[in-house]
Chain A
Amino acid sequence: MDNQQKLVQSFVQALGVEEGQVTDQLTYNTIKEWDSTAHMILISEIENTFDVMLDTDDIIDMSTVAKAKEILANYDISF
């Protein structure tokens, strides 16, 4: 599984959405599945999947799938 697939699976697991819904444009608080509670579970999934511990500012900024990739790149994870 490459990093793109791992990230998609993290969103699927945390938000309970279909794979097809996880596009770069998917945005926090625009679907009922990605609320503040799910956001915390998502962060937990991403940290576990990529073996990182995110800074609080990065957690706040992680508002889209595209942004998640951009942030993870700062932790040496490439897409």
Chain B
Amino acid sequence: MTSPSESIVLKGGSVLVTGATGDIGRAIVTECVQAGAAVFAAGRNDEKLDALVHQFEKRVTPLNYDVTDEKAVKEAFRHIQKHQNQSNVGPLMGLVNCAGIMEEAALSVNTMDGLKNQLNVNFLAPYQHMQLASRLMARHRHGSIVNIVSQVGELGANGMSAYGASKAALTGATKSLAKELAAIGIRVNAIAPGFVDTELTRHFEPEARAKIEDRIAMKRVGRAGDVARAVVFLLSRQSAYTTGHVLPVDGLFCP
């Protein structure tokens, strides 16, 4: 059972969540609001953003922009800069880089455009978000950044070299920025989900899915909520002495 103090671990601040309209993103927004944070929810689907706003009333501010559009990202942060001091919002204390894409392709058929596209969304966009968020956090000498990477980036996977490389790049930035930003009170961690039941993985045939489950020590695939609760832990002061860490949320996947 959650105690009252545990349920408000993010109270008094705001969190920007990118990819907020995906399954994992929505779960992260939900957990952050329930933990007491105001949330800037970034996504591309107006209908899904509106649903989040409707569900959480004044706790969610929608931001519809393309994370790979440098100018749009800057405008989004300008909006956050202007609104974070409102009494019902609070200073930006958290960033969750959740927006991502996954394209499977063998080396022989992987196009350079496909590779660049995944690097843009999965690495360059989170990097720019960290650059701008850390400036807002620096003034308060306090903040927590959580990057959603992947066990594919940590362990590798057949046919996923481009995706794995893009996520591994983000893991590398996570570890270096944790060292760079520690001096100003900003922690940088990552979560590496394994196989999670989302829109991206629902196309798997039952047989393929069963094979994957067999390789997971906990014998079930992950749920979006499993990832979201780990994100809130890394955002909150409950992990105040943890930085530069990649936390697998994979039920112990055994490749």
Contacts and interface: CB of A to CB of B under 8 A. Distances in A.
Interface of A: 37, 40-41, 43-45, 47-48, 51, 53, 56
A47 B135 contact: yes
Contacts of B174: none
A53 B183 CA distance: 22
Contacts of B135: 40, 43-44, 47
Contacts of A43: 135, 138
B81 interface: yes
Nearest to A42: B138
B139 A37 contact: no
B77 interface: yes
A4 B82 CA distance: 23
A52 B131 CA distance: 15
B78 A45 contact: no
B78 A41 contact: no
Please name the 9 residue pairs, one residue from A and one from B, whose CB atoms are nearest each other, closest first. A44-B138, A44-B139, A37-B183, A44-B135, A41-B138, A53-B78, A40-B138, A48-B139, A43-B135
Nearest to B77: A53
Q: Is the interface of A mostly helix, strand, loop or mixed?
A: helix
**Size band of the interface chain B makes with A:** 10 to 19
Nearest to B137: A44
Interface in B179-231: 183-184
Contacts of A56: 131
Contacts, number: 29
B116 interface: no
B74 A53 contact: yes
Interface in B115-149: 131-132, 134-136, 138-139, 141
A41 B139 CA distance: 6
A40 B139 CA distance: 9
A40 B184 contact: yes
Contacts of A45: 139
Nearest to A49: B139
Contacts of B74: 53
Nearest to A47: B135
Contacts of B81: 47-48, 51, 53
B69 to A, nearest CB: 15
A52 B136 CA distance: 11
